[in-house]
């Protein structure tokens, strides 16, 4: 008889300020979770930055364009990690994730998927709530939450930034997956 404890996947988002540990809502937003985990496992997020920081609102990252220096492209890139039926199946740069809106509230530490005006346009960009954002509830897909490192969110959101909410300094991330006891 095995005495092993059940385990869950968590993502570790490492920055110069420290680590945020994220758990996922697999049942609530399975496609978003699968895409994020796949990007994390492939190294897609490594070297990207939190390119949008808005006190009391969000820190946003996950755009591969932020690996470069052209800030005018920040917030414009990224795609789903696999084909979920949105985009051209033969062109991975067009892949998006269909909306999986749910009842989880956008509050401090919540992980949600950024998107354009179209509901089925989630890609690789995500945001972590740095405050309550009730106006996003039911309109953006919540797919996880920070369970360790909430103070890191507050440090990142407080850095000096320009008028487009781009931090003055690069806040690079490395994202890896780990197994933890439930």
- How distant, in Å, are the alpha carbons of 19, 42, 109, 145, 173 from that of 149? 6, 23, 9, 11, 14
pLDDT at position 33: 98
For residue 110, is it left (φ>0), alpha (ψ between -120 and 50) or beta? beta
Residue 182 counted as domain residue: no
Q: Is residue 87 part of a domain?
A: yes
Whether 122 maps to a domain, the answer reads: yes
The reply to whether 80 falls in a domain is yes
* DSSP designation for 144: E
Assess if residue 54 is contained within a domain.
yes
Instruction: Report yes or no on 156 lying in a domain.
Output: yes
The whole-angstrom distance between residue 145's C-alpha and the CA centroid of its chain comes to 10
Phi, psi (5° rounding) for residue 128?
-115, 125
* pLDDT for 92: 95
pLDDT digits (tens, 9 = 90+) for 92-140: 999 999 999 999 999 999 999 999 999 999 999 999 999 999 999 999 9
Counting residues of the chain whose pLDDT is more than 70, the rounded percentage is: 98
Number of domains within the chain: 1
Is residue 2 situated within a structural domain? no
Residue 1 pLDDT greater than 80, yes or no: no
Question: Which string of DSSP letters, residue by residue, matches 61-83?
Answer: E--GGGGSS-GGGTTS----SS-
- The enclosing domain of 14 has a CATH number of 2.40.100.10
Q: Is 165 helix (H, G, I), strand (E, B) or coil?
A: coil
Cβ burial 51-71 (10 Å sphere, 16+ → b, else e): bbbeeebbbbbbbbbbeeeee
Domain that holds residue 47: 7-177
**Residue 1 belongs to some domain of the structure:** no
Q: Residue 2: its pLDDT value, please?
A: 60
């Amino acid at each position: 008889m095995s005495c092993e404890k059940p385990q869950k996947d968590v993502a570790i988002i490492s920055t110069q300020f420290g680590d945020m540990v994220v758990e996922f809502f697999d049942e609530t937003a399975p496609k978003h979770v699968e895409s994020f985990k796949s990007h994390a496992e492939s190294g897609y997020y490594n070297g990207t930055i939190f390119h949008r920081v808005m006190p009391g609102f969000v820190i946003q990252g996950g755009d591969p364009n932020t690996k470069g220096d052209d800030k005018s492209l920040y917030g414009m890139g990224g795609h789903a990690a696999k084909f979920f039926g949105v985009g051209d199946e033969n062109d991975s740069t067009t892949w998006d994730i269909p909306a999986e809106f749910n009842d989880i509230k956008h509050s401090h530490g919540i992980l949600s998927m950024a998107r354009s005006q179209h509901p089925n346009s989630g890609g690789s960009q995500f945001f972590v709530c740095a405050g309550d954002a009730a106006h996003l509830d039911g309109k953006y897909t919540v797919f996880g939450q920070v369970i360790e490192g909430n103070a890191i969110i507050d440090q990142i959101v407080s850095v000096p930034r320009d008028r487009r909410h781009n931090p003055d300094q690069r806040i690079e991330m490395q994202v890896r997956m780990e197994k933890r006891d439930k």
